[in-house]
Structure 1
Amino acid sequence: MNNQLANGHLPRSPYTAGQAVPVRELHAGHREEILQHLLQLGEDDRRLRFGTQTPDEVIHHYVERLDFNRDAIFGVFDLNLKLIGMAHLAYLPEVKGKAHAAEFGVSVLPEGRSQGIGTALLQRSAVHSRNTNIQTLFVHCLANNKAMMHLAQKAGMSVEYAYGDADAYLKLLPANPGTIVEEAAKEQWADMDYALKENLKRSNQAWWWFLGRPGLAP
């Protein structure tokens, strides 16, 4: 491999492009939204996300096996409460003498790209990792996954290439009161954002139902 593990740390103000995107932590009740999100990925996007050809049945199995008590799943919803971006922060088994690590995987639907969603998901995952005693954030993907490599390099990750694959690492500083408050504030903001979108969606549905009632059309 070409590069060595980065000796640097998480920048103090990383991923500024993603700060305006509310990212919500998902739970088991979101399993159907996660499934529908992944099923909407095209063949190439599935290959880049999972590193191989991924038919529907594999995605169903992946979603069924998600453990929300062990790992962390984050999502970004659009105005219609459609899950347009999600990240899976998978905690890797602890190895004595090595830094505790978590692997980051992300997917964004075409209509949500170039809006800072991937950056926001990575930022949210990095803060959560720090607050749960993770020392190294890790990304494994195909070397030709240009979007993921751009995201990783923008975050200051050290990237290593070998045999068509790429590994990116980011060493994380320990948690502090600021990161704990930051995560709590972001979660509260994301919950408020979701509630507002939910109310807006209900209002729009009621309005269109009203307009569609028999006898009210001009």
Structure 2
Amino acid sequence: MPVSRITSKLMFPPVESAEPDGLLAYGGDLSTERLLLAYREGIFPWYNEPPILWWSPDPRFVLFPNELQVTASMKQVLKKNLFTITFDQDFPGVIAGCKETYRPGQDSTWITNEVEAAYTKLHKDGWAHSVECWMDGKLAGGFYGIRLGKCFFGESMFARVSNASKAAFITFVQRAAKEGIEIIDCQVYTDHLASFGARFITRKDFIDIIKKYQF
């Protein structure tokens, strides 16, 4: 069936109607209300140029905090205290760092000016959060995402110094486990996140979990 077009009405089609690659719908806007509705229903935006594309892949790539895997080499890196990790101290700097980072196989970043503005507003409203990794007083890496209750939806990460984003992510996941976060959405597969213990679960299981823990 054809991919649904989003109108001004605040709603999405059922995720079960998504294409095999996860594409669910196109159009709409990046208002705070629409973005929060999307995350609550297991949907996220990802596009390089208009129209906005909305996705809900099956299976879904996730990390359960208590399944975090840290390699021996990263344990040594963390022990050296090369980095200082902070939370929500420089969201604009983190999203700008993600925006400027070259991604192999991509001609341009998906973080357009519109996306940057929308997620910066989400941060100001208390929904979007950043994790910063500093080295010698400079931002060396980090990542950001959305938190709804005990669910965290990761969006993008970057590193200007080797292991910076890894250090930020590990520190965040360890803190998330202590705070009772049940699931971290990684959206789609990457070797980088798989090395931390992220794995696939069915879209149905993913939605069941986020419905249970997002409030």
TM-score normalised per structure 2: 0.49
More strand by share: 2
As a proportion of its length, which structure holds more helix? 1
Task: Determine which structure has more spread, i.e. the larger CA radius of gyration.
Answer: 1
